[in-house]
Amino acid sequence: MVASAKMIVDKDFIIGEVDKRIYGSFIEHLGRAVYGGIYEPDHPLADEQGFRTDVLELVRSLQTPIIRYPGGNFVSGYDWKDGIGTKESRKKRLELAWRTIEPNQVGLNEFADWCNKAGADVMWAVNLGTQGPDDARSIVEYSNHPGGTYWSDLRAQHGYQQPHAIKTWCLGNEMDGPWQIGHKTAEEYGRIACETAKVMKWVDPSIELVVCGSSSRGMATFPEWEATVLEHTYPHVDYISLHTYYGNKQNDTAAFLARSLQMDDFIRSVIATCDYMKAKKRSKKTMMLSFDEWNVWYHSNEADSQIEPWQVAPPQLEDVYNHEDALLVGCMLISLLKHADRVKMACMAQLVNVIAPIMTQNGGKAWKQTIFYPFQHVSVFGRGQALVPLIQSPKYDTKEITDVPYLEAIAVHNEADAELTVFAVNRDTDNALPLQVDLRSFGMCRVIEHIVLEHSDLKATNTADAPDRVKPHRGGNAAIADRVVSATLPKASWNVIRLKLESSH
């Protein structure tokens, strides 16, 4: 008998409102993310500012609402003042985080323009490695103050009379990491983050701040780092960050696809630490989470170790993603939605060329990697309220994780558009999985479409010459009768089942 899975979806069992910013992304001055990625003045499709319009079109199709910038490890050695003023006057610098040369041809103003073209807000990271509170207050004044002061008037002189009104700011990056320029203990970082947060909000009280959590769950200081940092910063910040990357170096697909359960555990641990500090502080504020770096990352490690230092924009971290990577990305997106009550922002790291859904050739084509599709589907169709997924599924065990459900799924109810969307991954690489979704609390529904991403080769990739080798189709067999959706999820597949709600119960 074929094992099957069941799911109950009730419109009153709400996890939380999905903040659209969980579909954010990340551009760092690293590799070809900026130069040769979003910006290539000599490209035939470059606009008047040097931005690639083919890349912009792909970014807009992802409907990414917020983009973190300029790092990443890069930011801990970055002086934002190198990236303003005339391009001819800008200094070239040794970039120590990734051992390249930074020409500073794209800076704050250009990136704000690019985000405006992409339909995204800026999430700016300030340097708390080699810089501190004074530098942070200056950049907030430059970008957000209306005018009549040194930094705001300088912005106007640079051609930007109106403020950029950047509302979301990161207080440094991965300051717990020994690899970080200006690495700090939790005590050291907590103190400087607190004082930086205060002056930034004194300049602009409307901004929101993200304090650095651990750079991974595997750090020896996790979760003590979070507790110590929040001890100092809790009243002054709005979010704490999480970062995680997964790989399949052992070529064990079953174990690889189970990694999102570790992501769930990581999120729960950070929430518990935040809530402990809320109780300790007798605070009425609930700390929210910003999962501002997440993705699959391992394919490019060997190539990156062989790069000659001190080049401008060499190819770095250019993972070429395969079909199984897309499945894990789908599972990770579902994990974010499962915690929509607390995870309010997230950034797939990164957006173009560097561990990215979009790849380009210098002077040539741009194309979609396999991971582009689940990210696009959830961003476009995953708006509304995330509903508690009551799931019965056959399970399997790996060496590290037991009771891994073959079905990973969640539903999002978009009341405004009268739509319900089920996102589902079948982790079984050998068998299709019959699924029934009980919609008992909903009225009449009809299936709009059942999108499927599947491939016979788990290692299949998209390339410039074969950009559509792995792409979704709309041939899924989802059907509905008596408020029960029946569908077959092909083996090793990502599925999007969209339903139109015709009437209320």
CA dihedral 172, 174, 176, 182 (to 10 degrees): -50
Separation between Cα atoms, residue 52 and residue 463, nearest integer Å? 19
Once rounded to an integer, what is the mean pLDDT over residues 84-104? 97
- In which band, very low, low, confident or very high, does the pLDDT at 504 lie, cut at 50, 70 and 90? low
Name every residue whose Cβ is closer than 8 Å to that of residue 492 and which is 6 or more positions away in sequence: 253, 323, 324, 327, 426, 427, 428, 429, 454, 455, 458
Amino acid, single-letter form, for residue 233: T
Distance from C-alpha of 425 to C-alpha of 391, rounded to nearest angstrom: 13
Residue 209 phi, psi (nearest 5)? -120, 140
Distances (CA, A) of 503 to 67, 382, 384, 414, 500: 37, 20, 18, 14, 9
From the list 102, 174, 226, 318, the catalytic residue is: 174
Measuring CA to CA, which residue among 414, 311, 295, 409 is closest to residue 347? 295
Higher pLDDT, 176 or 1: 176
Does a cis peptide bond (omega within 30 degrees of 0) precede residue 71?
A: no
Q: How far is residue 336 from each of residues 74, 100, 169, 242, measured CA to CA in Å?
A: 26, 34, 21, 12
DSSP state of 313: S
Is residue 481 predicted with pLDDT exceeding 90?
A: yes
Which residues does 239 contact at the CB level (< 8 Å), separation at least 6? 208, 209, 210, 211, 287, 288, 289, 290, 344, 345
Q: Which DSSP letter does residue 82 get? A: G
Residue 502's pLDDT band (cuts 50, 70, 90): confident
Rounded Cα–Cα distance for residues 336 and 343 (Å): 7
Distance CA 68, CA 73 (A): 12
Q: Choosing from 102, 141, 293, 419, which is the catalytic residue?
A: 293
- Beta-carbon contacts of 288 under 8 Å, excluding residues fewer than 6 positions away, are 238, 239, 240, 342, 343, 344, 345
Backbone angles phi, psi at 458, to 5 degrees: -60, -25
* 293 part of the active site: yes
Residues in the chain: 505
Give the pLDDT confidence of 425-474 residue by residue, as tens digits. Answer: 999 999 999 999 999 999 999 999 999 999 999 999 999 999 999 999 99
Percentage of the chain modeled with pLDDT above 70: 99
pLDDT at 306 > cutoff 70: yes
Each residue's pLDDT tens digit, 321-351: 999 999 999 999 999 999 999 999 999 999 9
Nearest to 349 by CA among 74, 53, 43, 57: 74
As a whole number of angstroms, the distance between CA 272 and CA 100 comes to: 39
Average pLDDT of the chain, as a whole number: 97
Helix, strand, coil percentages, rounded to 5, for the chain:
30, 25, 45
For residues 171 and 211, the answer to whether their CB atoms sit within 8 Å is yes
b (16+ CB within 10 A) / e for 351-371: bbbbbbbbbbeeeeebbbbbb
Q: What is the mean pLDDT of residues 398-418?
A: 97
Q: To 5 degrees, how large is the angle CA 440–CA 446–CA 452?
A: 100
Domains and CATH numbers, the chain: 5-10+387-501 (2.60.40.1180), 19-381 (3.20.20.80)
Our answer to whether residue 449 is catalytic in this structure is no
CB 208 within 8 A of CB 214: no
Instruction: Render pLDDT for 154-168 as a digit per residue (tens, 0 to 9).
Output: 999 999 999 999 999
The predicted model scores a pTM of 0.98
Bridge partners of residue 102, in order along the sequence: 93
**pLDDT tens-digit readout, 32-89:** 999 999 999 999 999 999 999 999 999 999 999 999 999 999 999 999 999 999 999 9
| Distance from C-alpha of 197 to C-alpha of 345, rounded to nearest angstrom | 19
Please give the backbone phi and psi of residue 301, each rounded to the nearest 5 degrees, phi first.
-55, -45
Kindly state the average pLDDT of the residues 358-377: 98
Under 8 Å CB-to-CB from 256, ≥6 apart: which residues?
246, 247, 248, 324, 328
**β-bridge mates for residue 495, sequence order:** 424, 452
Q: Give me the pLDDT at residue 499, please.
A: 98
Query: Pick from 197, 175, 63, 70: which is nearest to 122 by CA?
Result: 70
Residue 212 CA to residue 290 CA, distance in Å, equals 9
Q: b vs e for 191-203, b when ≥16 Cβ sit within 10 Å of the residue's Cβ?
A: ebbbbbbeebbeb
Give the integer Cα–Cα distance in Å for 123 and 26.
9
237, with CB counted inside 10 A (0-12, 13-18, 19+), is buried
